[in-house]
Copies of this chain bind each other. A is one copy, B any other.
Amino acid sequence: MSKKLDEKFSKLDSSAQVLLKLRHTSEHVLHAAMQNLFPQLKKAMGPATDEGFYFDFDLDQKISEDLFPEIEKEMQKIINTKAKMVHENITPEAAKKLFSKNPYKLEWLSDIQKRGESVSIFRMIDPSGDEIDVDLCSGPHLDSVDQIKAFKLLTVAGAYWHGDEKNKMLTRIYGTCWPTQRELDEYLNRLEEAKRRDHRIIGKDLNLFVFSDLVGKGLPLLTSKGATIRRELERFVVDEELKRGYQHVVTPPLAKTELYKTSGHYPYYKDTMYPVMKVDEEELILRPMTCPHHFMLYKSSGHSYKELPIRMAELSPQFRYEKSGELTGLMRVRMFSLADAHIFATKDQAKQVISEVLDLIQFANEIFGMTKGEDYRYRLSLGDRKDDKKYFKDDAAWDLAEDVLREVLTERHEPFFEAPGEAAFYGPKIDVQVKKISGHEETAFTVQYDFVMPKRFDLKYTDNEGKEAQPIVIHRSSIGAFERTMAFLIEKYAGAFPTWLSPIQAIVIPISDKHLDYANGLYDQLKKQGIRVELNDKNEPLNARIRDAEMQKIPYILVVGDREAEQNTVSVRSRSQKGQNVVPVSEFVEKIKSEIFNKALA
């Protein structure tokens, strides 16, 4: 194992280490099996991943998923041999002989040779001493292949060598492996569920957003329905933040390149920034973050300690260049809008301010129906005192900032773990780690402690003795980027949003044309109350119209016929309850209004 990989591996907890070995060895079994079945195949590469493994290879034959049973059978045969995984270090020269017919391995070997390193290989040796397979590999691996108890091949796809579209397109097989069959089954169920909830599919089915070739990649267009969800989220964030003492501002989504050079972002972000635009004598660029804009606003007037903390927030459009292969629905886009804020505070206020930020994050998560410790937890991302290149050098300031964040998390009894070397270049941070349906954990957004930018931008306030002092800055989001949050919520609710977020909150369906007057009156009444209501008087059978409303996941279907018209009632089919319920119109109105007002979960 290389030093870098070794370090990474040693950071994993023991169960994660076991999983990694299991999956990496499974990959070797896969490539050995493929080599047996397709002797002309050239192995390219194949790592373990967080959820399994994959194997890239060069083969002139198309591999379809229909072949998976056969390949899995061949894999099982190899597992049954109980072969050992044997590690060896050899010279590059010896390795070049060993892999002389494989251009991919030879390319790796040239790189290793340039670095003057020895070559790590793993041999798969069966109990009779025969070599089943040998591959360039840093490991680590299981001792023997028969420790693999539960694996499955998942999908096949194309993949460019080195991920570069200028290179040859290889074939990639994805698989997974778990310690037990039960865990494998659970994982496959989660995968199935994640597919069913895929926001790209639901987004299309419910007509929430579209993409357009003429507009460009990674630039979603929100339909009226998608935009409604977004507007509800935006107003929720703004209103809640205003209540909590934030000031909302509006700054332009572009600025002179110089601004990002001053902030120090430019060298870190320039590969993910859009190209510079020359306008007269100015060089403008779309912003990859909001911080320097807020610093400019802060600096536009003087500040006394009495004003601090100043909580400056914005629904901030930002632009990042993402590789086209990495663009994924609303989850990974080239332009997003962050519920962003920068809190200017004295050092003494830091703990209190961060604690208040966690209060807000937890409040929002509760509204979304997320349970702390189950659906999300925190990661304390720390700096690295030895890495002066990435991190601003000021050991004392790093120590202090990390202590503050750790103390807040500890004193609040928050569920968190520490991650050395994951800090931002300007300070440590608390990452909000959200568990996705697939079981995979992702950083949704962060709370960062910054002592570097205030220096770079020469931020100031007048302290209680009338002297000049420097504030610290807490960078934070409250619910993250609206695009990602929407993707996440679509998947969480599988499109059945709580009423307050539902694009259509209720639909009126008259049984026949006779009831159209009453239906229209009901529709008007609900609309006047600010409820997002529709009326379906299409010339279609009642059941078809009810089914259509169910497919649209509308929280309340209001069927009206003779009885309802006579008694001024409505027959309510609630998405969350079976059957139907006839209630006076006024009762239904009160119920749905209170549900919306309270942002109740469905």
Contact = CB atoms under 8 A, between A and B. Distances in A.
Chain B CB within 10 A, most for which of A217, A226, A278? A217
A17 interface: no
Contact of A296 (B221, B247, B296): B221
B297 A223 contact: yes
Given A223-B249, A249-B221, A251-B222, A214 B258 contact: yes
Nearest to A252: B219
A275 B254 CA distance: 13
Interface stretch (A113-121, A141-149, A227-235, A472-480): A227-235
A374 interface: no
Contacts of A187: none
A228 to B, nearest CB: 7
Given A224-B248, A249-B227, A255-B219, A279 B210 contact: no
A254 B207 contact: no
A42 interface: no
Interface in A529-554: none
Nearest to A235: B235
Nearest to A284: B216
A323 to B, nearest CB: 8
A214 B255 contact: yes
Interface in A215-271: 215-217, 219-224, 226-228, 230-231, 235, 238, 247-256, 258-259, 262
Given A228-B248, A254-B219, A277 B275 contact: yes
Nearest to A301: B207
Contacts of A293: 215, 221
A99 interface: no
Contacts of A286: 277
Nearest to A224: B247
Given A221-B300, A296-B212, A301-B207, A250 B279 contact: no
Interface in A440-464: none
Given A249-B221, A317-B317, A277 B274 contact: yes
A364 B212 CA distance: 34
Contacts of A207: 301
A324 interface: yes
B224 A312 contact: yes
Contacts of A262: 214
Nearest to A324: B280
A246 B282 CA distance: 39
A321 interface: yes
Interface string A298-316: 0011000000000010000
Given A238-B231, A317-B317, A222 B249 contact: yes
A339 interface: no
A301 B324 CA distance: 25
Contact of A216 (B249, B256, B301): B256
A33 interface: no
A335 interface: yes
A529 to B, nearest CB: 12
A227 B317 CA distance: 15
A556 to B, nearest CB: 19
Nearest to A334: B279
A249 B231 CA distance: 10
B252 A221 contact: yes
19 contacts: A210-B300, A214-B258, A214-B292, A216-B256, A216-B284, A217-B282, A219-B255, A221-B251, A221-B296, A223-B300, A224-B247, A226-B250, A252-B335, A253-B317, A254-B335, A274-B277, A274-B279, A279-B321, A317-B317
